[in-house]
Amino acid sequence: MQLTSTQDGKSTDIPAENGVVRGADLARAGLSTYDPGLVNTATVRSAITYIDGDQGILEYRGYPIEQLAGNATHLEVAYLLLYGELPTPDQLAVWNNEINKHRFVHENVRGIIQSYRYDAHPMAKLMSGVASMVTFYPSARDIADPEARERNIVRMLAKIPTIAAWAYRQSIGRHYVYPNDELGYVDNFLAMLFQSQQLVYRADPRVTRALEVLFILHADHEQNCSTNAVRAVASAGNDVYTSVGAGIGALFGPLHGGANEAVLAMLKQIGSPDRVGEFIEGVKAGKARLMGFGHRVYKSYDPRARIIKKACEDVLEATGARNPLLEVARELEKVALEDEYFISRRLYPNVDFYSGLIYEALRFPPEMFTVLFAVPRTAGWCAQWLEGVTDPEQKIMRPRQVYTGHRERSFVPLEGRAGA
Ligand code: SDX
């Protein structure tokens, strides 16, 4: 395919390989793009995650999400995202051991978390705890050194559950639980969150598996808002901690990772299935957003939402938690999927629609829900950071603008201004 730009009688051919036009070719023709939200603009080449929004397909390094969620562990998936292949048994054993060795966090990070008010949002504590890591591992700043990159990615993956758990413990005034090498990645995280007096907290295996599946589903999602933030900060030559800290900030937004917390608030506000119709009319009138619905890429059912919906039913059964909000969510989904407003806009449940119900059944407070998104997404952020800082095509991200302001005005002294 080829485009031709003709200006002042001069024609310039603009190649469009597979429907993609390069910015440099547009510039050569004296053209640029204006694309708020980068809705239709690729900023990177990536081989990590593939999404087909129309078909509802999600693959990590070519492996369907359904197969990974049904068979892998989160650390196996983290290895796949980072290095492109599923680990052999020996590689996985070394990988698990490496992560285990680095779970402890410098005691000063505990002080940073301790300095917050008890009711400070845990995402703020997580963001500062992670961003402070570069001060304890300054070697991470040498992003050209493959050894330093590898070592600090391992540290980032190993320590994010510890910092997240401590952010939670600080909010409930409980002692900090240290990592336990006898436990796997998810079980160790649950123990650091929920351990009280017993020697070693052992979660119900069904709960551990449900959280492992949620971790895998949340691990990566190509160039979403927070990954874009990670890559933008990385493009300036920043280390993995500083870049992941920026990703945590982006994920905090209610339109992004904060949506799972907002879904639960919405379900509680609706209260019962018989009030769903009234709420849906409010959404259609623009008075509210149906949180957990809609997606920039998926214009069909988010494949992750389908898996989470099943996991939700399993966890409610395992925990014996009867949650009337599940009936509200089911009725909300049913009504919305049959309503022309949502059908015409191709709005379907996304990853956040049912996840909050699982987290509530696992006794997490709503403000921890986005933290539970950030912990597994750290694997994808690290993989995307690594791909970005080693991509020879990449340069510092510095978009253009369409200027709409004044030009060449003369300074007016204070006494000469209106109202002086
Ligand atoms: C995540 O990008 C990723 O991959 C993100 C993520 C990941 O794994 O990283 O998948 C995680 O962030 C999932 C999304 C979680 N957010 C929510 O659930 C919040 C509610 N959803 C929306 O705010 C919205 O759907 C977005 C932000 C997710 C997507 O917004 P877009 O693509 O910019 O779509 P849009 O705002 O342009 O909406 C198109 C139309 C508009 O109507 P019109 O102006 O054409 O009349 O659809 C409407 C919107 O008003 N719309 C909604 C809606 N989402 C879009 N109307 C009601 N409820 C909604 N949820």
The model's pLDDT over 160-174, given as tens digits with 9 standing for 90+, comes to 999 999 999 999 999
**Mean pLDDT, rounded, for 194-199:** 82
Testing ligand 1's pocket by substitution, the residue of 307, 339, 347, 369 carrying the most ligand atoms inside 8 A of its CB is 347
151 lines ligand 1 (CB under 6 A): no
**Mean pLDDT, rounded, for 54-80:** 97
Distance 358 CA to ligand 1 centre (A): 22
Distance 333 CA to ligand 1 centre (A): 15
Position 79 confidence tier, pLDDT thresholds 50, 70, 90: very high
Indicate which residues carry an active-site annotation.
256, 295, 352
Q: Model confidence over 94-117: pLDDT tens digits?
A: 999 999 999 999 999 999 999 999
Lowest mean pLDDT among 133-137, 159-163, 195-199, 339-343: 195-199
| pLDDT for res 318 | 79
| pLDDT for res 411 | 96
**Mean pLDDT, rounded, for 18-36:** 94
Residue 340 pLDDT > 80? yes
**Of 199 and 228, which is predicted with more confidence?**
228
**Mean pLDDT, rounded, for 354-379:** 93
**Atom 18 of ligand 1, residue of closest alpha carbon:** 292
Token pair of 265, please? 């608030």
Distance 321 CA to ligand 1 centre (A): 30
**Atom 21 of ligand 1, residue of closest alpha carbon:** 294
295 lines ligand 1 (CB under 6 A): yes
Index of the ligand 1 atom closest to the CA of residue 292: 18
| pLDDT for res 177 | 95
Index of the ligand 1 atom closest to the CA of residue 345: 47
Distance 298 CA to ligand 1 centre (A): 10
| pLDDT for res 323 | 82
3-class SS letters over the chain? CEEEEEECCEEEEEECECCECCHHHHHHCCCCCCCHHHCCCCCCCCCCEEEECCCCEEEECCEEHHHHHHHCCHHHHHHHHHHCCCCCHHHHHHHHHHHHHCCCCCHHHHHHHHCCCCCCCHHHHHHHHHHHHHHHCHHHHCCCCHHHHHHHHHHHHHHHHHHHHHHHHHHCCCCCCCCCCCCCHHHHHHHHHHCCCCCCCCCCHHHHHHHHHHHHHHCCCCCCHHHHHHHHHHHCCCCHHHHHHHHHHHHCCCCCCCHHHHHHHHHHHHCCHHHHHHHHHHHHCCCCCCCCECCCCCCCCCHHHHHHHHHHHHHHHHHCCCCHHHHHHHHHHHHHHCCHHHHHCCCCECCHHHHHHHHHHCCCCHHHHHHHHHHHHHHHHHHHHHHHHCCCCCCCCCCCCCCCCCCCCCCCCHHHCCCC
Position 420 confidence tier, pLDDT thresholds 50, 70, 90: confident
377 lines ligand 1 (CB under 6 A): no
**Of 80 and 203, which is predicted with more confidence?**
80
* Separation CA 181–CA 7 (nearest Å): 67
| pLDDT for res 217 | 98
- The pLDDT mean for the chain works out to 94
Q: Model confidence over 125-162: pLDDT tens digits?
A: 999 999 999 999 999 999 999 999 999 999 999 999 99
**Atom 51 of ligand 1, residue of closest alpha carbon:** 294
| pLDDT for res 305 | 94
| pLDDT for res 87 | 98
| pLDDT for res 129 | 98
Residue 188 pLDDT > 80? yes
Residue 35 pLDDT > 80? yes
350 lines ligand 1 (CB under 6 A): yes
| pLDDT for res 333 | 94
Position 390 confidence tier, pLDDT thresholds 50, 70, 90: very high
**Atom 20 of ligand 1, residue of closest alpha carbon:** 291
Distance 282 CA to ligand 1 centre (A): 17
Distance 293 CA to ligand 1 centre (A): 7
